[in-house]
A and B are shown apart, each in its own frame.
Chain A
Amino acid sequence: MGDSKIVACLDCDLLQRIPDVPTGASVRCPRCDKELWRHKPDSLNRTFALTLAALVLYIIANAVPMLGLHAVGREAFTTVIGGAQQLWHDGQQIVAVLVLFAAVISPALQIIFLLLIVTGCQRERPPFWVGLFLRNLHFTRTWSMIEVMLLGVLVALTKIADYAHVILGTALFALFGLVFLLAMIQSSFDPREVWSRIEWAEEEAHSPETAGPVTGVTP
């Protein structure tokens, strides 16, 4: 096995060795200041607990109404998915899919991937699919935009408050909690720790084309 302490910075390609640092401290690239690693205490257990809580809030956030409107003797409610649905009905199918993807699908994938990664790591030998989810986790994080959606909801509320009485639904509070939890997960999850436990793909695949790991490089 190669020395995974030797890395190249992903932002400037500088070769360097990652030193051991006390918990809570971070390692930064000396050339471009990118954070290469942060030593997070009890990463897997904390991530597991936070992700479970996030899953509960996610289900609530999508099951109950988020916003309501009370005007001229009528009441109307909408959910997150309902927002995308209305756009679809009004002929904006592409935007509807984008909203659904950024506000519903990506966060779900993010939570499911994290749960699978962390539970997979509880095993003696984490299976290779843990790596598959871990290397696709970045994609789900890029496109999951719950915090942006909440700001959008806030703006929409301010606009509508001029015309009608708005009712805040339970889902709105669940979403606030979810944003908070996702930020906490971000600061407690340590991908390097997971990678250090994962079974190598090469041992599974025995592919002759795979590259060889680095041994004995001293930058």
Chain B
Amino acid sequence: MNALEPAAMGQGLQSCHGCGLLSRPAPGVEKGRCPRCDEPLEFRKPASLERTMAYLIAAAVCYIPANVLPVMKTITSGGSESDTILQGVVLLWSPTGWPLSLIVLFASIMIPSAKILALLYLVITVKRGSIQNNAQRVRLYRMVEIIGRWSMVDVFVDTFTVSLIQLQPLMSVEPGPGLLFFAAVVVLTMLAVESFDPRLIWDSADAKETNREVQHA
């Protein structure tokens, strides 16, 4: 045991993701389970960076059709009209509706792309073994985790617009093909957040710190 190591992993201890109990794996056992809640134990989330990257790439791919394809189709007696997410934002812009228009702009266009970029930055810095701005990086991660769910808002807007405006043959609204891709972006980025392990941010700093102290001693 290394008395200088501040992290649980350096002391050979695993904390349970289900209940938070700290335990020492039995010697020679590959996959232990939490003695309190029976959750499988790991030092770090398995293949965290690889999984996060895979979800991010998938999300980035879906992001393009999500913004290019229409999410809603309005059918009136005069013909039909398709709206993408951005067109929906523009339509909502009015003297009274502009705050909501801004919210949708943020939630549907800025948040998903910012989320992908932020997680990409976190994965790259961890891969390169960065030891700088650890506190800020973990704060960024928490922000992404909290804000991320709000990008679902457009899916709900479309759902309830479609289900209410069914006044055939005068006017009806149908969901467009972009909706599926948009929903996929939201779910995939949420899965990317879930699979990223923020403890990785601190690992290189912890390893360096221990090395230096050992050399000094």
Q: Give the B-binding residues of A (Cβ under 8 A).
A: 2, 4, 6-8, 10-15, 31-34, 67, 69, 71-72, 74, 76, 78, 82-87, 90-92, 94-95, 98-99, 102-103, 128, 131-132, 134-135, 142, 145, 148-149, 151-156, 158-160, 163-164, 166, 191-192, 195, 198, 200-202, 205, 207, 209-214, 217, 219
Chain A binding surface SS class: mixed
B163 surroundings in chain A (CB, below 8 A)? 78, 82-83, 85-87
Interface size on B, residues (CB 8 A): 78
A99 to B33, CA, bound (A): 34
10 nearest A-B residue pairs (beta carbon): A152-B156, A135-B18, A8-B8, A201-B38, A211-B32, A86-B163, A8-B15, A202-B35, A13-B7, A83-B163
Q: Which B26-77 residues sit within 8 Å CB-CB of chain A? A: 26, 29, 31-39, 41
B157, B194, B199: the one within 8 Å of A159 (CB): B157
23 cross-chain CB contacts under 8 A: A2-B23, A4-B21, A12-B202, A13-B8, A15-B7, A15-B8, A32-B138, A34-B138, A67-B160, A69-B164, A76-B167, A85-B163, A102-B152, A134-B19, A134-B37, A148-B149, A153-B160, A155-B157, A156-B161, A200-B35, A201-B37, A211-B32, A212-B26
Indicate if B129 sits at the interface (CB-CB under 8 A): no
Contact B22 A214 (CB under 8 A): yes
A/B pair count, beta carbons within 8 Å: 250
A135, A159, A210: the one within 8 Å of B19 (CB): A135
Contact A94 B183 (CB under 8 A): yes
Contact B159 A32 (CB under 8 A): no
A119 to B103, CA, bound (A): 40
Contact B159 A99 (CB under 8 A): yes
B171 surroundings in chain A (CB, below 8 A)? 163
Contact A152 B159 (CB under 8 A): yes
Given contacts A76-B164, A135-B37, contact A155 B100 (CB under 8 A): yes
Given contacts A148-B152, A210-B32, A211-B29, contact A155 B167 (CB under 8 A): no
A131 surroundings in chain B (CB, below 8 A)? 18-19, 36-38
Residue of B nearest to A16 (CB): B6
Indicate if B217 sits at the interface (CB-CB under 8 A): no
